[in-house]
Structure 1
């Protein structure tokens, strides 16, 4: 992997760890509704969530699917200068160790969560985190953009 690709991947990784209570935007939720997003180490009054290096951060998404769901997958991209860069999660299976048990029932509220480290090696950079929860057909249940800054 080149240095440039490595830097982009860890920027995405860092940008994932935020705390937002309403400062996110919907980026194409099709099969569900985001009720709230909470990510640690972020002041809801800031324009961007501050991600502190050398710490662990937990993201929680409360959502309600609008159809029955058999499988849940978490997909994350860091969006830098309008370019989405995939970030592989340690556990992309949203039905395991995430607070959610599959199958999901339409109209029922669920709380998905994941915890990841923000490494001290990550550079200070602004990035939008695109966090998607997808179903077994790879359709977006929810899609949220979280404005972030690594410090």
Structure 2
């Protein structure tokens, strides 16, 4: 796959990766050290067991409620899109979860936290189905939260 195509797919997936999760969607834990309490995307429609369907041109809010089991001094959001067996790193506007996303670091152990961000899905984006692996890592790159879920941009 050409470099330009890879970059286009990465940018596209970066825009939709947070949009995909909604209750009822097939969400799997991929090695969380903390406890995932709740995950939702308000822009999700046609909730099914296969994927969260998201309309191009829509707005929504992505919310994750979680509880770290150990004190956390920093939280960084990282994600990859998995498309055709290839993992593509996703661009994240604000990877520092402790900055403007509802979390104040340091976070004490066993303290419930809510991460939230607003997103807009551009109508010019192509239709796409993929898996997203979304992580929130602590200062030592340990996965406080790691989830994988299917998305479909309609």
TM-score normalized with structure 2 length: 0.88
Kindly indicate whether the alpha-carbon contact (under 8 Å) linking 2:11 and 2:91 is maintained by their aligned counterparts in 1.
no
Partner of 1:17: 19
Choose which of 44, 47, 50 in structure 2 pairs with 1:45: 47
Q: Does the 8 A contact of 2:24 with 2:47 survive in 1? A: no
Contact 2:21 2:149 in 1 (8 A): no
**Structure 2: how far apart are the matches of 1:69 and 1:96?**
14
* 1:86 CA drift (Å): 0.9
Aligned-residue offset at 1:88: 1.5
Equivalent residue, structure 2, for 1:77? 80
| Distance across 1 between alignment mates of 2:118 and 2:11 | 15
Q: Is the 8 A contact 1:15 1:150 kept in 2?
A: no
CA deviation after TM superposition for structure 1 residue 57, in Å:
2.7
1:124 is matched with 127
- Tell me the residue number matched to 2:105: 102
- In structure 2, how many angstroms separate the alpha carbons of the residues matched to 1:138 and 1:132? 10
Higher deviation after alignment, 132-141 or 14-23 = 14-23
Q: Which runs of 5+ in 2 are unaligned?
A: none
Note if contact 1:57-1:116 (Cα within 8 Å) is conserved in structure 2. Answer: yes
Verify the 8 A CA contact 2:74 2:98 in the aligned structure 1. Answer: yes
Q: TM-score, normalised by structure 1?
A: 0.90
1:134 corresponding residue in structure 2: 137
RMSD over equivalenced CA pairs, Å:
1.8
| Deviation string, structure 1 residues 10-61 (Cα, Å, up to 9, x no partner) | 331224313411531111112x011111012214731211121122232111
